[in-house]
Structure 1
Amino acid sequence: MGELRADWRLRLRREDAHGPVCGAGVLVDQCTALTCAHVVGRPDAVLWVEFAENSTLAPVRARVLPDGWLPERGDGEDIAVLRLESPRPQARPAPLDPRVWGGMEVYATGYADGFDEGMSLWGRIGGASGELVQLDAVTKADVVREGFSGAAVCTRPREDRPVRVVGLVVSWRGDLGAFLPEDNRLAFSYLIPVDRIARLSPHVAELSGPGAWDRGFEARVTRWFDDPDEDPVKITVVPPGSGKERSLRHLTHRADVVHRGGARTADLVDHALGRVAFPAGAYLAYYDWLRGTGPRPAPAGGHASASRRSAPAGGHAPALGRPSPEAGDSPAHPVALLVDGLDEEPRPGALIDVLERLRSVGFRLLLVFRREGGPGWDEACDRLLRPALLRQADVLLDRLQRVELSRSIRLDVVDSASLGPVAETAERHRVTRRRIDEVRDPHQQLARLRALIRTLRADLGRHGGR
């Protein structure tokens, strides 16, 4: 079955964050939502957008975009494009799909009177009704009603295919004009399809096109953020204006530290030190070392207590309660640093110097280039990516050897006092690892390293050792 909850399903309120519910909406990117114009009421109105199915996301005020007011008319317009006052990159936006056909099974969740927490109604796409599309309900009780306007019309959730949003609920009609669908002889719901909204709004057209997002890239980067055991350095190309870039914007908040290409390196160092625990009085020593203007701090003579650690005004002291490591120790939880546009850096080599030092204290790096082979590409591969992958391969080899030995001991294949050559898989991979050191072509070496790391992870997965 599909997921029951969606960040992009919105409940709209008037007056304030706890005001009366006035309708529904759909989040289409981190700053933009769709609803019906008649829900908003007037182009200068302010609504509160509430993430009805994710209480961890704070409500936010929203206003109609300058070109986002498309009030109800006879040609199928009844749309308001809203701009959130502050972005919500943590919320996953709706997957818009302009394709809709007769007989398609769909559902919508709205907030009718007495159902502020939401109620879902099912139906099938009937046929065209002007620029709108008729939605046929199984019974009149399944016809939409007040509180559903602006709600996403979604495809049936399936395990092998995620839900897609194909339109917005705009109205219902009954043949007798009665207030409730049940009090009419005939009653139908109506939606405005995504392809019609896209023709009215260039912004929606951009978001609903085939290249609007890069879901595969999202999945890979999300996995990298979620799993500290992924490659410690990841290099990726994100062309400007691409769906990949739009996907990255929704993942930037996952990074502990973000540095934009061309920004001040001093700011990066300062923000990075906010994530490093250092001994009392050592802030300036670390700062100078990371900037390349001083030697690496010498190991501290013991561990300072939380109350003794300090930093200068404007600097960052370690979090209270964390033991202060010796200089050069890695953080307990690896810090994820995103460099967005390394090839937009005026002096990429100087930035790579800083990144090299941050790697030495355990930072993980996600390096984004605007184009493959841009300024700093070869240097980043040689000084950051290749050493990190070589070290990662060695770590995985050691882990695989321990797992194999432990498994052999459990199965009584070998006595713990005389460990023989039982880690056969690890030993075979060590031969491959030594041969990689002999490869002179850097591109071939990286390719073989990645292949070895994939194989090691697969072997660890089979042994239950990750």
Structure 2
Amino acid sequence: MGELRADWRLRLRRGDANGPLCGAGVLVDQDTVLTCAHVVRRPDAVMWVEFAENRALEPVAARVAPGGWLPEGAGGEDVAVLRLDSPRPRARPAPLEPRLLSGMEVFATGYAEGFDDGMTLWGRISGASGERVQLDAATKAEVVRAGFSGAAVCTRPFEGRPARVVGLVVSWRGDMGELLPETNRLAFSYLIPVDRIAELSPTVKELSSPYAWDHRFEARLNRWFDEPADDDPVKITVVPPGSGKERSLRHLLHRADEVYHGGRSSRPDLADHALEHIDFPPGQYLTYWDWLLGARRRPVRVPVVAPGRRPATVVVDGFDDEPEPGPLVDLLARLRECGVRLLLVFRHEGGTGWTAARDALLRPALLGHADALLARLERAEFSRAVRLGVVGSGSLDTVTESADRYRAERRALDTLTDPGRQLTRLRELITALRAELRPHDRT
């Protein structure tokens, strides 16, 4: 089934951290929240956003974004788009679903009086009621109430498909006008669907598009951060401005140990911060800092990743925005000697510094990675043969037969003079080596 907790389900207070609970909200981007306009009350109000289901995320103030005040009437539908005072890229945003079907089973979590930690109610999508949609509950006790306004209306999660947000709770209505749903003869909940909010807000229209995010890219990048020993030590990727891939990247940059913004960041600062993640002799900071910046000869002892630590990761965001990439490439090459892993993000394929990054950073790193995988395969094959008791004077030549075959392919790569062809063959070799190693890693 789906996840029990979600970063994107928000609890709202009015004013500050000590303000009264007044409703719910939905995080749809690292700094964008949807809620009801009547929860916010005024377009100049300050709201306090709490990540009720992930206490590791710090609460933050929020205000109505430009063009985000869409109150009931005058073409609006009781919606407010809020902008966080500081972004929360570690929070996973809500997946928005513009399709809404009658009979769909849905649920919403709100913060009614006495339920500050949340309560969840279920229902089914019924029919349209103007621009709003009626939500039928099994009993009147499951009709939404005060504290649910702005809450995400979500689809039932299934295996492999998480809950998706199809709308916001905006109100409930009883036929007798009583204060509680239970004291009316009939009572129904109402939501405003995502597709209607998208008609009113360009921000929501963009975020509800199927191209708003690049989830395959997210998965590859998360794997790169998670598996330093098995994934490429240097990656080059193209992330076009304004793309879903760029939005996904913005939510993952926090995973890097250091981020260098091309054309805006400082190389001395990068060298300074990188030395926090690598091991060098005591009292030798300036020696190694000068070496990283090319102002001093190579030290006798090249610093390495500090013992017990994962290799540090540096992301260069906008490599082709760097006006003079040469000094940056030299610094990154020295960081590679220290075991630092690099993700180089270009805005455009073939942009400024592309050839230098490929030849001085990517190709040497992948050649070294292939050599390391070959050594692992050779050790794994020999160890397996020892365990099986097949190592003898007559079998030494065949114990590491696969590794020997791949090592011949590796030597052949050194004879290729075309960089593009060599990289293609090199990637094929690395892919094959990883496949050979998987059965050994499971034993």
Q: TM tier, shorter chain?
A: over 0.9
Work out whether residues 134 and 191 of structure 2, in 8 Å CA contact, stay in contact via their aligned partners in 1.
yes
Q: Quick one: which of 301, 307, 314 aligns to 1:337?
A: 314
The equivalent of 1:285 in structure 2 is 287
Indicate whether 1:352 and 2:329 are aligned.
Answer: yes
Q: 1:370 aligns with which of 343, 347, 351?
A: 347
Offset at residue 330 of structure 1 (A) = 3.4
Aligned to 1:441: 418
Structure 2 CA distance for aligned equivalents of residues 45 and 92 of structure 1: 25
Within a 5 Å distance, the mapping from 1:411-426 to structure 2 comes to 411-414=388-391, 419-426=396-403
CA contact (8 A) 1:13 1:19 kept: yes
**Inter-CA distance 233–29: structure 2 relative to 1 (3 Å threshold):** same
Gaps of 5+ in 1: 300-326
Aligned to 1:379: 356
Paired residue secondary structure (2:190): strand
Q: Hey, what does 2:236 align to over in structure 1? A: 235
Match of 2:110 in 1: 110
Q: How do residues 167-178 of structure 1 correspond to structure 2 at under 5 angstroms? A: 167-178=167-178
Partner of 2:303: 328
Q: How far, CA to CA, are the matches of 1:441 and 1:347 in structure 2? A: 25
Q: State the one-letter code of the partner of 2:306.
A: P
Query: Structure 2: how far apart are the matches of 1:254 and 1:38?
Result: 37
Runs (5+) with no aligned partner, structure 2: none
Q: CA deviation at 1:22?
A: 1.1
Distance 1:339 1:291 in 2: 16
2:298 counterpart (289, 296, 299):
296
Q: Report the counterpart of residue 408 of structure 2 in structure 1.
A: 431
For 2:140 and 2:397, how far apart are their aligned partners in 1?
A: 75
Q: Which residue of 2 aligns with 1:69?
A: 69
Q: Any idea what SS the aligned residue of 2:205 has?
A: helix
Question: Could you tell me whether the CA contact under 8 Å between 1:255 and 1:337 is conserved in 2?
Answer: yes
Please give the secondary structure, in 2, of the residue aligned with 1:154. Answer: strand
Is the contact made by 2:71 and 2:79 (CA closer than 8 Å) also made in structure 1?
Answer: yes
Between the aligned partners of 1:83 and 1:221, the Cα distance in structure 2 is: 27
Instruction: Supply the AA of the counterpart residue of 1:191.
Output: L
> Which runs of structure 1 show a deviation greater than 6 angstroms over 4 or more consecutive aligned residues?
none
C-alpha contact 2:12 2:50 (8 A) present in aligned 1:
yes
Aligned pairs for 1:43-442 (under 5 A) are 43-73=43-73, 77-229=77-229, 230-263=231-264, 264-299=266-301, 327-332=302-307, 333-414=310-391, 419-442=396-419
Residue 140 of structure 1: how far off its partner (Å): 2.0
Q: Aligned-pair distance for 1:76?
A: 5.8
Q: Structure 1 residues 296 and 134 mapped into 2: Cα distance closer, same or farther (>3 Å)? A: same
CA gap of 1:328–1:277, structure 2 versus 1, over 3 A, is closer
> Is this contact kept in 2: 1:35–1:80, CA < 8 A?
yes
Q: Take 1:172 and 1:272, find their aligned partners in 2: how far apart are those partners? A: 55
- Report which stretch shifted further, 426-435 or 281-290: 426-435
Q: Is the 8 A contact 2:277 2:305 kept in 1?
A: no
Query: Counterparts of 1:416 and 1:226 in 2: how far apart (Å)?
Result: 41
> What residue is the counterpart of 1:5 in the other structure?
5
Distance 2:421 2:104 in 1: 49
Moved more, 415-424 or 120-129: 415-424
Which residue identity does 1:410 align to in structure 2? R
Secondary structure in 1 matching 2:274: helix
Shift of 1:105: 1.8
| SS of equivalent residue, structure 1 residue 421 | helix
Count how many residue pairs are aligned between Structure 1 and Structure 2: 439
Mapped contact 1:149–1:170 kept (Cα < 8 A) = yes
Shift of 1:417: 12
In angstroms, what is the RMSD of aligned CA positions? 1.9
How many angstroms does 1:336 deviate by? 0.3
